[in-house]
Amino acid sequence: MSHDSLSTARNETAGTALDSVWVPSIANHPGVTVQLARGRLYAALKSVSAFACKDETRFHLNGVFVELEGKTLTLVATDGHTLGRAIVAVSADLSVTKRTALLSASDVASILKATKGKKADADQPTTITLSGPRKEESSKVLIVCGATSLECRPIDAQFPPYRQVIPTYDSEKRTPFVGFNPAYMSRACDAITDFGRDAYSSLGAEIQFGANALDPIMIQFDGRELGSFTAVVMPMRIK
């Protein structure tokens, strides 16, 4: 994924302090409300937030993009190099008309703190309300988890068109799905990062797939004067 492919968004309020943007209250614009288990929200948000950009000058990529449509909650984050997306089912009285919001990094941290809880309380009902005067974009996000209520004001910026970089399955070409255990892939990538730590910022690793979906996956890192590292992840059948 190229750095430029996910860094095209621009602040719609350039030159205007975010704190000065007028935001209407939820009472005036009730919006839509959905419900899901606390543990599901926490797991989805935590996994996605790891992909958010850490460069504060690119604030439109610092947080997590929220999208509600039908009875599905989608969370997305990207730093322009990697992208994470989580899709979870939610409960709603009616199928939700599409609503979006871009949560700031600080709001994401607050939500994670409020929804972490104990494993035994993972099924605790948690509601999310997205509201605002615009048809699709939301200017307020209200999250209620037990006795905790968080009101967040989304960033007034455009999130990149993330769907453009997510590969799609071509049924006509019979593109194979390559299955692997995420823990094994993580182990391989962590090992390569450790091995090439001194040069990793300027050198990349290569992933080579076999001719068949059940062939091993090979990840190679050429560190030049540092040497090279090869990791092989054995496949698993998933479909």
Domains of the chain, start order: 4-165 (3.10.150.10), 182-233 (no CATH)
What mean pLDDT comes out for the span 24-44? 75
What was the pLDDT predicted at 3?
47
pLDDT score recorded for residue 103: 95
Q: Report the pLDDT averaged over residues 108-122.
A: 90
Contact status, residue 159 vs residue 65, Cβ threshold 8 Å: yes
Q: What is the pLDDT of residue 96?
A: 72
Higher pLDDT, 1 or 187: 187
Dist CA 207 CA 97 (whole Å): 40
pLDDT band at 30 (very low <50, low <70, confident <90, very high): low
Write the CA distances from 74 to 19, 34, 57, 88, 194, integer angstroms: 27, 12, 25, 7, 32
- pLDDT > 90: percent of the chain: 33
Query: What pLDDT does residue 137 have?
Result: 76
* pLDDT at residue 199, as a whole number: 54
pLDDT beyond 50 at 169: yes
Residue 170 confidence class, pLDDT cut points 50, 70, 90: low
- What is the residue type of 155? I
pLDDT at 24 over 50: no
Which residue did the predictor score with more confidence, 121 or 109? 109
Residue 11 binned pLDDT confidence (cut-offs 50, 70, 90): very low
C-alpha span between 64 and 59 (Å, rounded): 11
pLDDT band at 15 (very low <50, low <70, confident <90, very high): very low
List the one residue out of 75, 140, 78 whose CA is nearest residue 112: 75
Question: Taking residues 196-221, what's their average pLDDT?
Answer: 75
- Is pTM beyond 0.95? Reply is no
DSSP assignment of the chain equals: --TGGG-----TTTTS-GGGS----TTT---EEEEEEHHHHHHHHHHHHTTS---TT-GGGTSEEEEEEETEEEEEEE-SS-EEEEEEE-B-SSPEEEEEEEE-HHHHHHHHHHH---GGGTT-EEEEEEE-SSSSB-SEEEEEETTEEEEE---SSPPP-GGGGS----TTTTPPPPP--HHHHHHHHHHHHHHTTTTTTT--EEEE--SSTTSPEEEEEE-GGG-EEEEEE------
